[in-house]
Amino acid sequence: MARGIHPDEFPDLVLKILQEQGFDTRYITVKRIWCIYENLVRKGVIHDTLRVVTW
| Residue 31 falls inside a structural domain | yes
**pLDDT score at 3:** 60
| Residue 37 falls inside a structural domain | yes
Residue 9 · residue 1 · CB < 8 Å? no
**Residues of the chain where predicted confidence (pLDDT) is lower than 50:** 1-2
Residue 10 · residue 33 · CB < 8 Å? yes
Q: What is the pTM of this model?
A: 0.87
Task: Kindly report, residue by residue over 14-29, the tens digit of the pLDDT.
Answer: 999 999 999 999 999 9
Question: CA-CA distances (angstroms) from residue 23 to 29, 37, 52?
Answer: 14, 18, 26
10 Å Cβ neighbour count for 37? Answer: 19
Number of domains in the chain: 1
| Residue 34 falls inside a structural domain | yes
| Residue 7 falls inside a structural domain | yes
